Each structure stands twice: as structure tokens, then as C-alpha cells.
Structure 1
Amino acid sequence: MVINGVTEVSDADFAAEVIEAELPVLVEFTADWCPPCRQMGPVLAAVAEEEAGRLRVVQLNVDKNPDTTNAYKVLSMPTFMVFRNGEPVRSMVGARPKRKLLEELADVL
């Protein structure tokens, strides 16, 4: 499901949607009960729109997808990971404003 340019991924399709993606992928590991995760919704939608063609933005619900969450040792929400060529190249924890998120993504795009 795609909401505001942000695709929801799961354990089942993580490899196809993220690992095998041609573009770099920003993954937000999120949870329904996490207020900072909800705050990031509009930020991620704006980043997805601004960086379309250069970056995919996806979300993975940690409660519904424990395999991927555990595989990448995600303990805090929200955690952001950038995957490029199937490998995690950047990890960031915690909500942040769009400007700061884009600064942190600049060198991996």
C-alpha cells in the first residue's frame, strides 16, 4: 500500500522492494503506538515527493514484521536506514525535521 508516496513493506516483500531496488531506499522502521513515528509521516511524504526518481521511501511496521526488524537489530522507533545496492549504508534513530533528514541523506544519494 502506498500512502503519500511512501510504500508500506513487509517481511514478505522486503527483499523485492528494498534489497533488489535500483534506487537507494529510505526505510522507516515504525510502529502504530509510536508518536514520533506519526510525526514523521508528513516529513517522509515530502521527502518522497522531493526526491522522487532519486530515492524510494518505504515504511516497515516492526510489530507486524519481526523477521526484518530483528535481522537489522532495530530496537528504537523510529529508526531510519538507507539501503543502496542491497546493503544498509546509513542508520539514524529518532524523529527529525525534513531539513535535517535531507542533510543526512545528501551523501548517500
Structure 2
Amino acid sequence: MASDIEIARAANMKPIQEIGMKLDIPEEALLPYGRTKAKISADFLQGLNGRSNGKLILVTAINPTPAGEGKTTTTVGLGDGLNRIGKNAMICLREPSLGPCFGMKGGAA
């Protein structure tokens, strides 16, 4: 089984402009930080006023399985599943996978 760092290094990250296009964010509204990160301009966000809001699903406080599947794995799977069935979904993770920094799982590590 590959380690976390081996999996991360094998990932092919998409350019942020490609992600923006998928979310209907024009390239000129992205303020890039390298190839894979960007902020969205305030002008673009203000232009979204009046549109109907989306839905928020909060994944929190679940105990990981013995294999280490917890909030991060569940959230990524949920986002992938919603996109697979045609929904326009994106995910946001706050402090994902802290444990591998110390060689063990869990933020309390």
C-alpha cells in the first residue's frame, strides 16, 4: 500500500484556470497563486448578488474507520459522487489530514 506522501506526489493537479472554467468563473476573475491556487476577485463575487444560493453540506464529527477513513475521505467521496450524478459540486477542507505529519492519523496526534 502506498504511503500518503507517495499518493500525494503521484497526483496530477489541474491548472486553477481549468477548475475555474468548470465552475463558470472566468479566468480574469481569478487571482492566481502559482498554477494550482487562486483567490477570486471581489468584483466577481459582488456580481453574483441576486443569484439563488446553493446548498451546503457539512461533514463533521465522525469517527474514522480502522482504515483511517474519516471526514476528509467522506467529504471527497461525497463531492466526487455529486459531480458524477451531474450536480455542480465543490468541496472545501479545513485542516485536512493532520495526522500523517507525525506518522499517525488524527488531529490530536
Q: Same fold (TM over 0.5)?
A: no
Q: TM-score, normalised by structure 2?
A: 0.26
The structure where strand makes up a greater share of residues is: 1
If you compute each CA radius of gyration, which structure gives the higher value, 1 or 2?
2
Q: TM-score, normalised by structure 1?
A: 0.26
